[in-house]
Amino acid sequence: MTTRASITIKYLISNLILPLAVAFAAANPHRTVLVTGGAGYIGSHTCVELLQTGKYNVVVVDTLDNSCMESLERVRELTGCTKDMLQFRQCDVRDTDTLKSVLDEFPAIDSCIHFAGLKAVGESVANPLMYYDCNIGGTTNLLQNLSTRKIKNFVFSSSATVYGDPEKLPITEDSKLSATNPYGRTKLFVEEILRDCHASNPELWNILILRYFNPIGAHPSGRIGEDPQVCKFMYPS
């Protein structure tokens, strides 16, 4: 049996997402970030952090299949941002036409943090094609549309699940990669796709992959947390 650790959402945001946001902002202030799956658990906390820097506008695309608009309304409430600073468009990342229209509408987008996807291991075992279609098909469609517009900064929300059943603990970044279920395979395959994209055109792509264990907890205000419609974890946040 694999021993899995959990981290708090606060740890994830302060140690991974926020330093990234600050680094991006330092390099080029007043940027617009496309956050896919931004109404979801990790995405909504990330929107708060991006907006609180005062240096980003955020455009969220989300199907709302596993989230709701209320979370983004609460992000607005927590950050005091205007509607212009946090825009939402209901869009499936597999839907090329809608995605194109979002990118046309917001030409200032120059980076993307990609959270959109399905994440329930059991569901992925029962319905692998749904997972391959959404997580892999969605990502390749997104990458295709970003590359057409030369939007090269891409952060992928992968998972520590790519370490499969680790041979030794603690897991280090260079531990062997494998997958034990279709969900994990989608993360592993997307990581490979990203490596191929970067190898094909290192000038075009600036890619970062985050692999974390299950974050738990909610925003200190208690106003946003995990609100799953589909996937329920052991620790509700």
Residues with a catalytic annotation lie at 183
Nearer to ligand NAD, 31 or 114 (CB): 114
Which segment (31-39, 81-89, 99-107, 192-200) binds ligand NAD by CB under 6 A? 31-39
Q: Which of 17, 31, 41, 224 binds ligand NAD (CB under 6 A)?
A: 41
Q: How far is CA 118 from CA 11, 30, 37, 136, 194, in A?
A: 23, 31, 10, 10, 18
Q: How far is the CB of 125 from ligand NAD (least distance, A)?
A: 15
Binding mask 216-235 for ligand NAD (x = CB under 6 A): ---------------x----
Alpha helices in 136-181 (DSSP H): 138-148
Residue 214 touching ligand NAD (CB under 6 A): yes
Tokens of 146: 């970003």
Q: Which of 139, 145, 153, 159 binds ligand NAD (CB under 6 A)?
A: 159
Q: How far is the CB of 189 from ligand NAD (least distance, A)?
A: 13
By CB under 6 A, the count of residues binding ligand NAD is: 30
In DSSP terms, 31 is beta-bridged to: 56
Q: Which of 215, 218, 224, 225 binds ligand NAD (CB under 6 A)?
A: 215
Residue 115 touching ligand NAD (CB under 6 A): yes
Phi, psi of 56 (to 5 degrees): -125, 145
Q: Residue 183 CB: number of other CB atoms within 10 A?
A: 24
The position carrying tokens 């592993």 is: 188
Which amino acid, residue 232?
K
CB neighbour list of residue 49: distance below 8 Å, 6 or more residues apart: 13, 17, 18, 21
CA atoms within 13 A on the CB side of 75: 30
Q: Which residues bind ligand NAD (CB under 6 A)?
A: 36-37, 39-43, 61-67, 92-94, 115-119, 134, 138, 157, 159, 212, 214-215, 231
